[in-house]
Structure 1
Amino acid sequence: MQARLRWIALTKAVPLAISRGTTASVRRLVVELEHEGLVGRGEAGGFETGHRAYATEAVAAELEALLPRFASAEGLALAAELPAFQALDPWLAPLSPPARCAIDLALHDWWGQKLGQPLWRLWGLDRAACSPTSVTLGLAGVEQVLARLDRWQDRLGCWPQRVKLKLGSPDGPGHDRALVLAVVQRLQERADAAGMVSELQVDANGGWDLVTAQQLIPWLAEQGVVLVEQPLPAQLDPEADAASFAALDLSCPIPLVADESCWNLSDLLRLAPHVDGVNIKLLKSGGLSEALLMAQTARSFGLDLMLGCYSDSALLNGAASQLLPLVRWPDLDSHLNLIDDPFEGPELQADCLLPSNRPGLGVIEVPGPTAASAPC
């Protein structure tokens, strides 16, 4: 078995600003596991959630230390049983979530290719159950946000049915209100002109305090907003974090979704009594193994699912897209905002993303400059 790690650079067509800062470009890591003529790929990268942070360089160091084991005698023995997810638990458990994600995705990709089927089909999911993805409007001035909405229409070739507006502005709740009113008006104008109603979601990315959230959320409901995501900052202490959602639970008139607070199944179970949904992201969950378990558990608890991304390429979003038939609120638009994505993944039909029919993660590499890689 061969294991390789390489760097790629991703540049956004439009930088994304949220309550914690602005991102214009990132460097990401691609893991490749090659065996029996098949190459499984996975993506990882650093990210931060306000209360936790992972640097891409640190994730790379974890992977560089692990990957040589795949070519060792122990790795060769495991290769005979690929993907051998359970056998690899001792290797993967010590890794950070983003490092574990890259290996987990590469193994799933290889497994699906070996069986000649996309993961969604191997899991018995119905691709026809996928719903439209939201498109993101980052924090900015009112005119810039409205111009971004128009740009999404150009990118999709249609008017988006779901719009996610970032709030938690450092300029305060007055600016948040102005953005909401402007976007609501633009969506209403579109509905009046074309008879097409779009839903508006808001995501504060933990940018409000409790008083601000309690004041804004009822007002957002009056404006027709359909959900509010992570209104309060995530906290390292699990009990304190759950208590912050509990403080909003009884007074929240629209669905309340946890993102930065929800990383794995334990978090989902902890937050289930206080939220209406959770946002699963593969870099938080450590890959598809945990994410699939979270999705199935959430549905059994009656929780709705959002499926989100960071500054991810079509490789990571192609992996996430395998779960789309289970998801009420897809939010996989990051690769649609890249000018240099080296991968082709989910199929885009108007504003609806569909997991590819290709085997494994359904992702292929497109021609372009190749980053240096080193076998391990």
Structure 2
Amino acid sequence: MRLRLSRFRLSKAVPLAISRGTTSAVEHLLLELDHGGITGRGETGGFDTGHRHYETDAVAAELEALVPRLDSLEPQPLQALEPLLAGLSPPARCGLDLALHDWWGQRLGQPLHRLWGLDPAACVATSVTLGLGSLAAVLARLERWRQQLPATRVKLKLGSPDGLAHDRQLVEGVKAVLRPGDELQIDANGGWDLEGAHQMIPWLADQGVVLVEQPLPPLADPEADRAGFAALHGLASVPLVADESCWDLCDLLRLAPHVDGINIKLVKSGGLSEGLLMARTAHRLGLKVMLGCYSDGGLLNSGAAQLLPLVQWPDLDSHLNLVDDPFSGPDRQGDRLVPADRPGLGVQEVG
């Protein structure tokens, strides 16, 4: 099989500000895997969680070094390629894993969700993200989302550098304009310390939010990271969700006694192979699953969408905020995303 790499830019219509900074555009990698007259495609790129950082150039170098080794290999069975994938960084593994799955699904003429026996009728509405900013800017962003789709599930970023008072102002301001039946999710992106989280989480529960995601900064020491969630779990009735602290199945098992849910992101987990395993394991352990994204395009989110029937809290809105994405995203019915019925990842080029 032959692997080709190219780069493309993804520019946001509205820049996104979180506790770690603001993003207006990224450069991503397109992987095209050719074999037997079929081309499987994958998308990946660099990202930063505060305690781990990957540059797109470094990810590209990893994948380029693989090109000669792939010439003598077959794209199936996938199990035979696991040792090759295991040696890659999560974003490099994600791109290749997606391309292999896309090839496999196209070879069999079926979408991945059908090959896995998943039911698209189980898919629920995605959340839409409100970044940090002034209250006026946050409310304007919500109105813009509502012009685009129903926006019944709202995820508000907190952890503001302006402090907890500003976080509370944002919550109260957004709550005031929510419609009956809308729900409010909170994502601090690790922007609080332990004392701040102890103040905010019970208050947020009283405000009726449906979940609090990653209240504390992720830590490189797994035990210290686990201890942070343990100190907060059960503090209030609102579910606690791990994102930046939860990368793979090992992290899920480490955190499972101290959280109510996990956020799976494909570039973090290393692709669909690990993502599917994490989602099914979370269900067996009684945890809920969020499916998230970074500044990901339609190709990557189309891959992630194959897992949507297993997800209670979809958060795949990044492709809906792009002005130059070369690929369309998952099929959409209002604010409900569903995996495409087309073979493989089901991705299509724009235009």
**TM-score scaled to structure 2, two decimals?**
0.99
Q: Aligned AA for 1:319?
A: G
Distance apart, 1:358 and its partner CA: 0.4
Distance apart, 1:93 and its partner CA: 1.4
- 2:163 matched to 1:172? yes
- 2:19 matched to 1:28? no
State how far apart, in whole Å, the 1-side matches of 2:35 and 2:208 are: 52
> Which of 274, 277, 290 matches 1:293?
277
Tell me which residue corresponds to 1:345.
329
Tell me which residue corresponds to 2:228.
244
Distance apart, 1:276 and its partner CA: 0.1
> Which of 272, 275, 278 matches 2:262?
278
Distance apart, 1:208 and its partner CA: 0.1
Q: Aligned AA for 2:173?
A: A
State how far apart, in whole Å, the 1-side matches of 2:53 and 2:270 are: 14
Conserved? CA contact 2:157–2:188, under 8 Å: yes
Tell me which residue corresponds to 2:216.
232
* Deviating more after overlay: 142-151 vs 245-254: 245-254
Tell me which residue corresponds to 2:90.
97
- 2:68 matched to 1:84? no
- 2:297 matched to 1:313? yes
Equivalence map 1:260-279=2 (5 Å) = 260-279=244-263
Distance apart, 1:84 and its partner CA: 2.3
- SS of residue in 2 equivalent to 1:88: helix
Structure 1, gaps ≥5 residues long: 192-196, 368-376
- Percentage of pairs with the same residue: 69
Any idea what the Cα deviations from partners look like across 1:249-286, whole Å, max 9, x if unmatched? 13132000000000000000000000000000000100
Conserved? CA contact 2:319–2:329, under 8 Å: no
State how far apart, in whole Å, the 2-side matches of 1:247 and 1:83 are: 45
Structure 2, gaps ≥5 residues long: none
Conserved? CA contact 1:345–1:362, under 8 Å: no
Distance apart, 1:92 and its partner CA: 1.5
Q: Which runs of 4+ in 1 moved over 3 A?
A: none
State how far apart, in whole Å, the 1-side matches of 2:92 and 2:228 are: 29
> Which of 202, 205, 208 matches 2:186?
202
Equivalence map 1:24-63=2 (5 Å) = 24-63=24-63
State how far apart, in whole Å, the 1-side matches of 2:126 and 2:245 are: 22
- 2:103 matched to 1:113? no
- 2:126 matched to 1:142? no
- SS of residue in 2 equivalent to 1:309: coil
State how far apart, in whole Å, the 2-side matches of 1:121 and 1:3 are: 26
- 2:296 matched to 1:303? no
State how far apart, in whole Å, the 2-side matches of 1:128 and 1:88 are: 32
Any idea what the Cα deviations from partners look like across 1:167-206, whole Å, max 9, x if unmatched? 000000010000000000011xx33xxxxx1000000000
Any idea what the Cα deviations from partners look like across 1:69-112, whole Å, max 9, x if unmatched? 222xx32xxx2xx3222211222211100000000000000000
Conserved? CA contact 2:8–2:27, under 8 Å: yes
Tell me which residue corresponds to 1:186.
177
Q: Aligned AA for 1:139?
A: L
Any idea what the Cα deviations from partners look like across 1:328-359, whole Å, max 9, x if unmatched? 00000000000011001311110000100000
> Which of 337, 343, 347 matches 1:359?
343
State how far apart, in whole Å, the 1-side matches of 2:348 and 2:67 are: 22
**TM-score scaled to structure 1, two decimals?**
0.92
State how far apart, in whole Å, the 2-side matches of 1:133 and 1:68 are: 40
- 2:203 matched to 1:219? yes
- SS of residue in 2 equivalent to 1:175: helix
Q: Which has the larger radius of gyration?
A: 1
State how far apart, in whole Å, the 2-side matches of 1:66 and 1:92 are: 10
